[in-house]
Amino acid sequence: MTRQVEYKWTGWDGNTIVRLTDGSVWRQEEYHYEYRYAYRPYVNLSGDVMHVEGMSRGIRCQRRIRVPSSQSTSLPYSVVSAIGRSPRCEDSGA
């Protein structure tokens, strides 16, 4: 199945979260570091392997929950953390 990355692509960093234009969210499951900037590259999904246009090889990924872009900042902590964002914590000084 062929899709596109939702926004910019900066490559694999070992813990990459990928949001696709169909609304699906994927998390990198195997370590691989490779930098490449692209705007909305095409992605080919074959089972749990994601091949991003211009990258040297496919990477094993796991599909996460589907979250509309406009709602991602108002989700509960457990849902937000599942897509790779963590809440900001302030030092209480304790």
Domain ranges of the chain: 2-82
Q: What is the pLDDT of residues 36-94, one digit of tens each?
A: 999 999 999 999 999 999 999 999 999 986 555 554 444 444 444 444 443 444 444 44
In this structure, what DSSP letter does residue 80 have? H
pLDDT at residue 26 is higher than 90 = yes
Contacts 24+ apart (CB under 8 A), 42-46: 42/2, 42/3, 42/4, 43/2, 43/3, 43/4, 43/5, 43/18, 44/1, 44/2, 45/1, 45/2, 45/3
Q: Tokens 């074959």 label which residue?
A: 46
Q: pLDDT-derived band of residue 1, with 50, 70 and 90 as boundaries? A: confident
Instruction: Identify whether the C-beta of residue 5 lies closer than 8 Å to the C-beta of residue 37.
Output: no
Contact residues for 93 (Cβ-Cβ < 8 A; gap 6+): none
Binned at pLDDT 50, 70 and 90, residue 31 comes out as: very high
Tell me the whole-structure pTM to 2 decimals. Answer: 0.67
Instruction: Over range 24-32, report the average pLDDT.
Output: 96
Average pLDDT over residues 1-17: 94
Instruction: Name the residue with higher pLDDT: 17 or 76.
Output: 17
